[in-house]
């Protein structure tokens, strides 16, 4: 199994390290340019970072349409923080990017860098999942087939819809592999 990781900006190296540690030890491919998409992948991770910068780079490098097409064709995708924003159909305080997931998100909902925090919470049927939030968005609304998976203080911070999984928090910044194993297990 090979997992593509968008490596234009953000914390892609941390995702790569965690994916390699998952049950079964998936391989990875860092995606930086269009020709990287010629190598077959089984899933895709859209990391945290700055969503408007990532969208600009996706367009400028000719990656936007091919990646969107892969997602719409059913490629499993996991977006964290900025990756969540990239997948959202509606973005409060910003413009949608891929718009493939029926959710509305609020960008920088927890404020500036100083508003970052750590907590633990339930994720689906998993208890005490570590959740690190850094200038994080949250999900204002889920629609259609989008299903909330986790909430913190009444705000939705994780959801799934078909082949798409999103978290407002950064599991790559902790040692707990359960969210990654959940994502990878959805494809097996």
Q: From the first residue on, what is the mean pLDDT of each consecutive set of 10 residues in the chain (188 residues)?
A: 94 93 87 97 95 95 98 97 96 93 88 74 96 93 97 96 97 95 73
pLDDT at 185: 87
Residues in Cβ contact with 42 at an 8 Å cutoff, skipping those fewer than 6 apart = 1, 2, 3, 26, 76, 187
Catalytic residues: 81, 170, 172
Does residue 52 contact residue 10 with C-beta atoms inside 8 Å?
no
pLDDT digits (tens, 9 = 90+) for 91-114: 998 889 999 999 999 987 766 555
pTM, two decimals, is 0.94
Tokens of 71: 């997602």
- The answer to whether domain 2-185 has CATH 3.40.50.880 is yes
Q: Where are the domains of the chain?
A: 2-185
Give the number of residues written for the chain: 188
Closest CA relative to residue 180, chosen from 162, 161, 158:
158
Query: Using CA of residue 135, residue 136, residue 140, residue 141, what is the dihedral sign?
Result: positive
Largest CA distance in the chain: 43
Average per-residue pLDDT for the chain: 93
pLDDT at 114: 52
């Amino acid at each position: 199994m090979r997992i593509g990781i968008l490596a234009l900006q953000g914390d892609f190296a941390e995702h790569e390290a965690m994916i390699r540690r998952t049950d079964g030890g998936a391989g990875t491919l860092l995606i930086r340019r269009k020709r990287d998409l010629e190598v077959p992948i089984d899933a895709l991770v859209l990391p945290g970072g700055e969503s408007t910068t990532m969208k600009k780079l996706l367009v400028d490098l000719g990656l936007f349409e091919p990646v969107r097409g892969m997602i719409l064709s059913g490629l499993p995708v996991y977006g964290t923080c900025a990756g969540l924003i990239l997948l959202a159909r509606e973005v409060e305080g910003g413009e949608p990017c891929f718009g493939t997931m029926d959710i509305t998100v609020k960008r920088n909902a927890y404020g500036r860098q100083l508003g970052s925090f750590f907590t633990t919470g339930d994720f689906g049927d998993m208890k005490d999942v570590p959740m690190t939030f850094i200038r994080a968005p949250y999900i204002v609304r889920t629609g259609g087939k989008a299903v909330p998976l986790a909430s913190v203080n009444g705000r939705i911070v994780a959801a799934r819809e078909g082949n798409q999984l999103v978290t407002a928090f950064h599991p790559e910044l902790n040692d707990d592999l359960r969210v990654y194993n959940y994502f990878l297990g959805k494809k097996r």
